[in-house]
Chain A
């Protein structure tokens, strides 16, 4: 299945605004992050576990256990700083 990945703020500057990633059925946000980390380079750097990265599934904050369906939109971004 395919998921649409979006990045914001410092992650967007490092990785671009969006990309499409092919995943096996049953994937979660956590396995998506693993797949992106395995790309190496800047992905491995800015999405490294231990860094403060927040995730949203279909425009709602989520954790890495969130299950993905084909066509899902997953966003990765740094801690928010609005207000």
Chain B
């Protein structure tokens, strides 16, 4: 694996290029699982109601928290390489937001680790989304379902608790 495990950037990313870099030089890779999150043009409502999104984060803590998640994933799963890219700043509907890519010898561990990392990131990494709609800009509410998703892995999340 080459390149940093975690990248926070304003620029877009290229899934193919990132996967190529992640598996480069590792002939033991037999499976690559990736997840890409994108900006929806709606928030459970009308198509086109979301015209823009702004992503804020807490520099340093963001990178540290995702590095810690990857360390945890490497202990839990038999995986070979991980790359996480998360964009910040102004985004538009259909833009890519996040990439999680995992390599392993066989598919099961790659699928699981990819899902684990996304569940973790959703509730533990300090990012905040603000959407622009015809009614104005609004901060996106955290979902209780995301805490439940992390609980499946035996980790108590309290992102949404008072």
Please report A residues at the B interface, Cβ cutoff 8 Å: 6, 8-10, 12, 49-54, 56, 59-61, 75, 77-83
Contact = CB atoms under 8 A, between A and B. Distances in A.
Interface string B117-135: 0100111111111100000
Residue of B55, B61, B129, B142 with highest tally of chain A CB at under 10 A: B61
Contacts of A54: 159
Given A78-B142, A83-B98, A61 B128 contact: no
B143 to A, nearest CB: 8
B151 interface: no
Contacts of A52: 142, 160-162
Given A8-B128, A81-B139, 12 more contacts: A8-B126, A50-B162, A52-B161, A52-B162, A53-B162, A60-B65, A79-B159, A80-B142, A81-B127, A82-B98, A82-B127, A83-B118
